[in-house]
């Protein structure tokens, strides 16, 4: 038991760093994923994950695999795409989901092209799938800072975010906090995707945000409980995925996301809040 579960983290420093990284990602990304899901913006998160790719690729073009350059580039690209998609949907007949899809495809193609101009196939794989087993001190500090900022910001924005999920019309009628809250929330989405990008790559970063959130929905109906559940499921998925990768010699990033996907399928089947097993086993009706 020790050799299988604890040994890899006790003996290898790169496994310890990877574990700290995925825990930080789960702590910040899980609650953000819950609000994305409740606001029916799950696919928006996926589109935004690809939107950061051109900015990160431009940072790579000028500075190589530099953490500050790729982070600043990714943040800038994510904000630009979010604002541009909002303006297109506001001033044209195109809906926000269609405009995000257009920007997502353009961003993915542009980012891959930019990386390919200078880098090798290894660099391209690094950008697309991350290097969770090669996190350095600066990257871990960045992930910790992002998770800290996210938790503190959600604590401040919690009430307007919940109101916007439940009754956005009421929020607009009693407060002007709706638009600033929405913009701040999009900023948190971009920030967490940039952090996830450094560990899991642009193609998988959104996985640690949405899969634990979707799994937690089948175990809780209260928003706070869902947020806590998403964090726990995300952390356990990171732990399980790293162990799976270590023992079976699988790519670490995909193994983490596959483990989170397994948690989602398990929750879909057995979750107490709408799981398939509970739907097939209805409770007793009230008797007169």
Give the CATH number for residue 28. Answer: 1.10.3470.10
Q: Where are the alpha helices (DSSP H) in 92-222?
A: 96-118, 121-129, 137-166, 168-174, 178-200, 207-217
Q: Which domain holds residue 216?
A: 2-275
| C-alpha span between 172 and 179 (Å, rounded) | 9
Q: Give domain status of residue 285, yes or no.
A: no
Confidence at residue 284, expressed as pLDDT on a 0 to 100 scale = 56
Q: How many domains does the chain have?
A: 1
Q: Give domain status of residue 90, yes or no.
A: yes
Confidence at residue 283, expressed as pLDDT on a 0 to 100 scale = 60
Q: Give domain status of residue 113, yes or no.
A: yes
Q: Which residues of 259-268 are buried (b: 16+ CB within 10 A; e: fewer)?
A: bbbbbbeebb
Q: Give domain status of residue 104, yes or no.
A: yes
Confidence at residue 282, expressed as pLDDT on a 0 to 100 scale = 64
Q: Give domain status of residue 74, yes or no.
A: yes
Q: Give domain status of residue 284, yes or no.
A: no
Q: Give domain status of residue 184, yes or no.
A: yes
Confidence at residue 243, expressed as pLDDT on a 0 to 100 scale = 95
Q: Give domain status of residue 283, yes or no.
A: no
Distance set, CA 268 to CA 29, 219, 228 (Å): 20, 9, 18
Ramachandran angles phi, psi of 67, nearest 5°:
-60, -50
- Taking 50 as the pLDDT cut, the residues of the chain under it are 288
């Amino acid at each position: 038991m020790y050799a299988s579960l604890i040994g890899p983290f006790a003996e290898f420093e790169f496994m310890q760093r990877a574990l700290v990284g995925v825990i930080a990602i789960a702590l910040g990304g899980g609650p953000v994923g819950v609000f994305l899901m409740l606001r029916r913006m799950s696919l928006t998160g996926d589109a935004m994950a690809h939107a950061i790719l051109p900015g990160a690729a431009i940072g790579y073009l000028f500075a190589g695999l530099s953490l500050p350059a790729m982070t600043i580039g990714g943040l800038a690209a994510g904000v630009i795409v979010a604002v541009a998609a909002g303006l297109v949907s506001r001033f044209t007949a195109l809906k926000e989901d269609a405009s995000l899809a257009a920007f997502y495809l353009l961003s993915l193609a542009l980012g891959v092209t930019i990386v390919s101009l200078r880098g090798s196939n290894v660099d391209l794989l690094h950008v697309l799938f991350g290097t969770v087993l090669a996190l350095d001190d600066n990257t871990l500090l960045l992930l910790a800072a992002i998770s800290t900022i996210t938790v503190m910001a959600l604590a401040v924005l919690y009430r307007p975010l919940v109101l916007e999920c439940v009754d956005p019309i009421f929020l607009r009628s009693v407060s002007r906090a709706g638009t600033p809250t929405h913009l701040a929330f999009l900023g948190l989405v971009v920030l967490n995707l940039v952090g996830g990008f450094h560990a899991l790559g642009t193609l998988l970063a959104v996985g640690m945000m949405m899969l634990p959130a979707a799994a937690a929905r089948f175990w809780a109906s209260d928003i706070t409980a869902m947020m806590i559940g998403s964090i726990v499921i995300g952390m356990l998925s990171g732990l399980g995925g790293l162990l799976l990768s270590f023992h079976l010699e699988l790519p670490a990033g995909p193994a983490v996301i596959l483990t989170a996907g397994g948690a989602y399928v398990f929750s879909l089947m057995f979750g107490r809040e709408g799981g398939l097993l509970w739907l097939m086993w209805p409770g007793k009706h009230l008797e007169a």
